[in-house]
Structure 1
Amino acid sequence: MGHVTMNQKHFDDTTPPTIYRLPFSLLIMLLIFQLFFAACASQAELPAQVIEAYYQALTKKDLNTMISLACPEWEEQARNEYNSFGAVTTQLQGLRCQTISQEQAKARVNCQGKIIANYGNEVLEIDLSKLTFELVQQGGNWRFCGYPK
Structure 2
Amino acid sequence: MIDILKESVMGSFNSIYSIAKIVIPLMIILQVAKDYKLLDKISKFLEFLTKFFGMSKESTLPLLVGIIFGLSYGAGVIIQSAKDGNLSTKDTFLISVFLVTCHAIVEDTLIFVAVDANGYILLSLRVFAAVVMTFVLSKRLKISESTLKQDINQ
TM-score range, shorter chain: under 0.3
Identify the structure with the greater helix proportion. Answer: 2
Identify the structure with the greater strand proportion. Answer: 1
TM-score, reference length from structure 1 = 0.27
Higher relative contact order (CA 8 A, sep 6+): 2
TM-score, reference length from structure 2 = 0.27
